[in-house]
Amino acid sequence: MAGTKCYISFSQGGKSTLTSLSSCKNNISVYGKGTTLCVPTSLSSCKKNSKSSLRVARATLAMDFLEAEEVKVDVSSILKVTATVTVKISNDVSLVKIPWPYPQNDMEPVEKGVRFQLVSTELDPSTKKPKVSKECVKDWSKCPTRKAIGGTGCLSFEVELVMDADFGEPGAILVGNNYEKELYVETISLDGFVHFSCKSWVQPAHISKEKRIFFSNKAYLPSQTPLGLKILRTKELKNKRGDGNGQRLPSDRIYDYDTYNDLGNPDKGPEYARPTLGGETNPHPRRCRTGRPSTIADVTSETPVNTLISSTYVPRDEAMEGTRRNDIHMGIWKGVLHNIPPMVTTFCNENDVRMDFSDLTRLYRSRSEAEMNLNMHGLLKFLDISGSIEEIFKFQTPKNLSCVTSYEQDDHELGRQTLAGMNPISIEKLKVYPPVSKLDPSIYGPPESDLKEEHIIGHLNGMSVQQALDENKLFILDYHDIYLPFLEKINAQEDRKAYATRTIFFLTTMGTLKPIAIELSLPPNDTNIPSKQVLTPPVDATTNWLWRLGKAHVCSNDNGVHQLVHHWLRVHACMEPFIIATHRNLSIMHPIFKLLSHHMEHALAINAMARESLISANGIIECGFSSGKYSTEMISAAYRDWWRFDLEGLPADLIRRGMAVPDETKPHGLRLLIEDYPYANDGLLIWSAIQELVNTYVNHYYPDENAVISDKELQSWYSEAINVGHADLREANWWPKLSNPDSLTEILTILIWTASAQHAALNFGQYHYGAYVPNRPPLMQKLIPQPHDDEYASFMADPQGYFLASLPSLFDSTKYMAVIDIISAHSHEEEYLGEIKDAYIRWTGEPDIIDAFYRFSVNIKKTENEIHRRNVDPRLRNRCGAGVPPYELLIPTSEPGVTGRGVPNSITI
């Protein structure tokens, strides 16, 4: 009976354990229909004694059997299998759980405990329904096998499940909760041979009568689903989709779509109203639906959540829990403490205190953590803060600023950070000089730039402009078209002033970038103010200060585009529809769900927090960035005019920006035009490792294009992500066609890259690159003075004072620093790319897949070693040299905290 795998139950002293014959080191043959076993004389590796009776349950996995001495076995009785259950009982006081706004279902009193019932992969031939075990109810608090699992908050206990001898292979387990509180089920393991990675909250029966369905860790494409699991597979997906109606409750596990219609609150007044993101007027990816009631003033707007008593709905298993939530709360409290001194200073003055460089130097700790006293108790211990009282009010000194000696970026550092800073994905090759706008000239004026040959010719090392273009020596940071349509509104706001900027860089013989011209544009409305002006490197004291102010405006725009477009839109917002579609369309048994699951964790919860406090009315972005209340409109314009999924992969993005050209002779199939481009060089190593893993994985499950096309769950997943989740761009012709294994590999590699390495490169360097505000101000309060301005005389008299007055106030600066300190930190329970913790369990019986993940882990470790080597290579001047910080953002591993390195599996903070 080749092609059959058998499980043997050894009954010893009334207790049975179920063992897979594949785990025995002996040769076994099976004849007939399960009535006779051929077993070797020696069974030393199986649980057996001389009085054991063998009972067999047949399953569907392949196993080779060899001839051996025949032993007849009675298989007429029942099987008993021991399940080891790992659970977590949460005693945290959480706004998600208190109060419980759930209907109390009318139910008869039930036995306290957890209910378990196994489901076979086979159908009962008489009922045509899945075979099930006898239901078992176990009160873990009274279980003699209960034991705590140190340091995890979990405990385990054993449950004995009884089934018929011909039960077959277990494929699912139904779990009910007869306690008063929800219960987190971590794992269930049947005698070590069948595993269920549950990782989910099970609600008490008075909230949800239905038992939860957990499938074993074996992956099945839809067409391969065993008959006994087909109904459950369909039912579980239906449960997660919901019906699209009603307000979501904290206990729900429903994934659905909605527009961003909850960013404002018109009931507080028209000044708090904000446009809906998503739809024809303001295109945007969709979010997870919450179903809260509409506002009174505007029925199209959803009432914002009251964060004092509740939190924005995310499906229950997406909510922040335990250590990760505590880490965020700890970061918030640290931020409060750090802001006390500037807050007191501000409140003691009638107006916001202007930034002063001496104030900045006092904001940072002067001593390392190792030199501090260990006076840790009470609040200080909770906040993980050591040292004197003075030190707890100070910020960590940014890595990028080992000592504060300058109050603005020098030209070399500005160029270096375009390649190795917190926003290394805006720099482009300059294709045409002067650059030309793509905006409507009837609205925004002539598309031609005011940049002329005479502005840059003296900085090209003797080259002509055309020669510099031909030899790939000119590059640009172009923020003209993204800012200009909104400048009139932005600059009408109080204490907000911005330009549409273009910055030209020259690639030196040392492989570094040097800024050689800055163009500053305004809407062509005021005849008294020039709509365009060009700044070039300084030649005297006055032009030196003007150049510094120009660079500050460039960095402010760079900061805004980084946060709004590259970080929020391209990573957080554009990933959310794919995450929702994955849960709605791919069964947890689906191999693609299993591949993506680690890369989807935490993103919905973080995005929900962003809607509460980051991109909402009067949120962090509006209060802290130049774009203010028009930030979301800028995001929408970037999504409509610029974002393309097919160009979100690293190689395609580099080619789109002209930073690389295809070259099949190079290791990654392309050649970088700037050889020392740390983000690209390190990123390509990670991209290639991900691509290799995904390619092996996809081809294992999908040997040909028919397998991809005929997978209904997979096709529904991709179609829904586009047509519903990205509905405003569904008609675009650039979406990859999901038609073969290669296209599936491309799509999945983009998603995993975006959630892991791309997010890491954009997020975890924010504090170390941005915490010295004069280097990267999030907003500017003044335009560059013109000779006819009233303020020109004060600028000439005190240029440093004018520069400082252009920056955010001291209190606004420290608020911004506290925010980027929180979001740049790694949790104590972070899981990093390449870490292999449970591959042998998650892909039980799939040795090729397990091997692929171990190769991936090795490749990621090699990447880390290579990055360390590059960071000490003196030839690489953008990452090594006197006073030059190493580029560490794509080093895969990290310690907890604000480290400026580490690539988590998913979008986390």
Residue 615 known to be catalytic: no
Residue whose C-alpha is closest to residue 376's, from 366, 386, 368, 367: 386
Return the structure tokens found at 27.
């040769």
* 199 DSSP assignment: E
Residue 590 known to be catalytic: no
CA distance 260 to 278: 6
Cβ(110)–Cβ(205) under 8 Å?
Answer: yes
| SS3 state at 612 | helix
CA distance 364 to 361: 6
Give whole-number Cα distances, 815 to 310, 469, 571, in Å: 24, 42, 24
Phi-psi region of 883 (alpha: psi -120 to 50; beta: other; left: phi over 0): left
Residue whose C-alpha is closest to residue 568's, from 625, 507, 514: 625
Query: Which residue type sits at 824?
Result: S
Element holding 15 (H helix, E strand)? strand 15-20
**Which residues, other chains included, contact 197 with Cβ-Cβ below 8 Å and sequence gap of 6+?**
187, 217, 838, 841, 842
**Which residues, other chains included, contact 21 with Cβ-Cβ below 8 Å and sequence gap of 6+?**
5, 6, 7, 8, 28, 46, 63
Return the structure tokens found at 115.
């209910």
Helical spans, DSSP H, in 383-505: 389-392, 411-420, 441-444, 453-456, 465-470, 480-483, 487-492
Residue 351 known to be catalytic: no
| Strand ranges, E, within 191-251 | 194-202, 212-215
Residue 557 known to be catalytic: no
| SS3 state at 636 | helix
Residue 579 known to be catalytic: no
**Which residues, other chains included, contact 403 with Cβ-Cβ below 8 Å and sequence gap of 6+?**
none
CA distance 622 to 629: 5
Marked catalytic residue, from 566, 759, 768, 826: 759
Cβ(659)–Cβ(673) under 8 Å?
Answer: yes
CA distance 216 to 198: 9
Helical spans, DSSP H, in 518-630: 541-561, 574-585, 591-600, 603-613, 620-624
Burial of 183 (0-12, 13-18, 19+ CB in 10 A): buried
- Upper half-sphere CA count for residue 250 (Cβ side, 13 Å): 17
Marked catalytic residue, from 338, 480, 566, 572: 572
Return the structure tokens found at 134.
């006898």
CA distance 91 to 377: 23
**Which residues, other chains included, contact 297 with Cβ-Cβ below 8 Å and sequence gap of 6+?**
266, 267, 270, 273
Marked catalytic residue, from 261, 681, 695, 763: 763
CA distance 825 to 821: 7
Marked catalytic residue, from 567, 590, 598, 668: 567
Q: Is the peptide bond before 741 cis (omega within 30 degrees of 0)?
A: no
**Count of Cβ atoms closer than 10 Å to residue 442 Cβ:** 6
Catalytic sites, residue numbers:
567, 572, 759, 763, 909
